[in-house]
Amino acid sequence: MKKTTVGAEKIVNSEKSEKFVALLRGINVGGHIVPMAVLKKTLASIGCGNVQTILASENIVFEKQSDDSASLADRIEKTLTNEFGFPIPVLLRHGSHIAKLVQSEPFKEITVTPKTRLYVTFLGVMPKKNIVPKLPSKDYQILRVIDGAVCSVVRLSQNAGTLDYMATIEKELW
């Protein structure tokens, strides 16, 4: 089984500033187009350095002098809303948080096939209830919850696909 970690090498802290990962929601869907070059320039305008997009995910890795994460996320949201004209929710994580998650190897016991999808769902706030959602089938499994992230696996079938399971987890957790 081949294991890959996309972009993990980009999130290790440097000496002069901290690495952050901004997880953006609701862009480049439903007519809310955000060109990556403009997104990078917009983040640079508020002091974010070495801004890089991660594949086609619209997630951003950048460096910034130590800052309060909550106020930085709020500042990024406001700046993006002003620039693009629609709200763009932002979840912000320190690079060290992502590195800790990767190092915990949440998927090490999973056999990956062409019908297997591995997911990490980052939570804006911890859910008010225990994470044991009523799942539509055995093909969706929550492996663990670690520091505000739900690690899960979906085994695609004829009965349900990825979007069905993501809708279930969102309904159950929020």
In angstroms, the CA 116 to CA 155 distance is: 5
pLDDT tens-place string over residues 119-132: 888 887 766 555 55
pLDDT of residue 113: 93
Q: For residue 21, report the phi and psi dihedrals to the nearest 5 degrees.
A: -120, 125
In angstroms, the CA 68 to CA 78 distance is: 15
One-letter identity of residue 106: P
Give the residue among 88, 46, 151, 119 at the shortest CA–CA distance from 20: 46
pLDDT of residue 12: 44
Q: For residue 96, report the phi and psi dihedrals to the nearest 5 degrees.
A: -65, -30
Specify the pTM.
0.75
Report the mean per-residue pLDDT for the chain.
79
H-helix or E-strand containing 54?
strand 49-54
pLDDT of residue 118: 92
In angstroms, the CA 81 to CA 106 distance is: 34
pLDDT of residue 99: 92
In angstroms, the CA 12 to CA 98 distance is: 9
3-state DSSP of 132-150: CCCCCCCCEEEEEEECCEE
Stretches where the chain sits below pLDDT 70 are: 1-16, 56, 66-67, 126-137, 159-166, 168-174
H-helix or E-strand containing 38?
helix 36-44
Which domains, and CATH codes, for the chain?
Answer: 8-99 (3.30.70.1280), 105-173 (no CATH)
pLDDT of residue 46: 93
pLDDT of residue 140: 80
Question: Per this entry, what is the length of the chain?
Answer: 174
